[in-house]
Amino acid sequence: MIRSLIIGTGSHVPPRVLKNQDLEKMVDTSDEWIIARTGIKERRIADGETTNDIAAKAAKNALKAAGVSPKEIDLIVAGTVTPDMLFPSTACFVQSHIGASRGIAAFDVSAACSGFLYALDAADKYIRSGASKKALVIGVDLFSKIVDWKDRNTCVLFGDGAGAVVLSAEKGKRGILSTHIHADGHYWKTLYTPLSLCSSPLHDKTPERSYMKMQGNELFKVAVRTMGEACQEALDHNGLRAEDISLLIPHQANMRIIKATAERLGLPEEKVYINLDRYGNTSAGSIPLALDEAVKKDMIKKGDIILFVAFGGGLTWASAIVRW
């Protein structure tokens, strides 16, 4: 059976750090409130680097770790909701930035914070069908571009970053065991960003700057429920129990959501990867960034079962289980 094996991981975050204390000077908030309600201490903010730059750096790092030349990649899928342009896609820009071959497939998926797992799901299906042999999957978001930095309800939560993995079609028991993706558009109003464009030959309107909008409380409840259900679905599908999980790598949105998900599974703290305190919520970047850190820290061994779970705007939610 052909499976997608993760043969390399990479990430990139902008160097500029924005601490909770910096936010205290911008909005009516406090370090204590942010840490108590979210677990976040600082986040990275792009200062000159674009979504394409950050995605390409993460991609290059993943290719280097995999020992794969950009010319060997036949598919690039990027999860992002903060592209530099409506089109071309971020995946096309990455193709050109890293020097991948001309004529390969490259496209973006829009699933907000679930974007990386949606992209992984798509790439895995190309690999298992035989349509791709080596795929590059990226999760990247620069929410600093769409956050209202005067809104304390949202600006304390997000940061910029990207992660990437190289998938290789391999025979055997290792690799991606399952992916599950879900959506419920009825909840769209809990998290969205309107488009600032309104060009028309019929009326003359100046577009207003539009920011991300969020109903934090409502989202919190749905997140706790869907993350728990998504984990259980992934375990049941593979005939696994929570004890079989070596490491849970959840979307890094809020410490309380992560803890509730782990508690529901009965997973001890040491089996849950958390870097939210240093990066905040990097949306589609969050899971591959956390994975890359866990790999670099030697926290993952060959044969380990890794569970990924995310939720985000759409609403969307998703899971993946990998035998490393």
CB of 221 to ligand UT7, least distance (A): 9
Tell which residue, 118, 52, 60, has the closest CA to residue 292.
60
Residue of 92, 113, 155, 231 marked catalytic: 113
What single-letter amino acid sits at 99? G
Which ranges of the chain does DSSP label H, i.e. alpha helix? 20-24, 31-38, 51-66, 90-98, 115-129, 152-155, 216-237, 255-265, 276-279, 286-296
CB of 52 to ligand UT7, least distance (A): 22
- DSSP SS3 for 103: coil
CB of 133 to ligand UT7, least distance (A): 33
**Binding of residue 224 to ligand UT7 (CB under 6 A):** no
**Binding of residue 97 to ligand UT7 (CB under 6 A):** no
Tell which one of 110, 153, 210, 232 touches ligand UT7 (CB under 6 A).
Answer: 153
251 is catalytic: yes
Distance of CA 155 to the CA centre of its chain: 18
Whichever of 110 and 153 has its CB closer to ligand UT7, that residue is 153
Indicate the burial class of 297 (C-beta count within 10 angstroms; 0-12, 13-18, 19 or more). exposed
CB of 194 to ligand UT7, least distance (A): 17
**Binding of residue 213 to ligand UT7 (CB under 6 A):** no
How many positions of this chain bind ligand UT7 (CB under 6 A)?
Answer: 19
Q: Give the residue numbers marked as catalytic.
A: 113, 251, 281
List of residues contacting ligand UT7 (CB under 6 A)? 29, 33, 37-38, 113, 152-153, 156, 191, 214, 216-217, 219-220, 223, 253-254, 281, 312
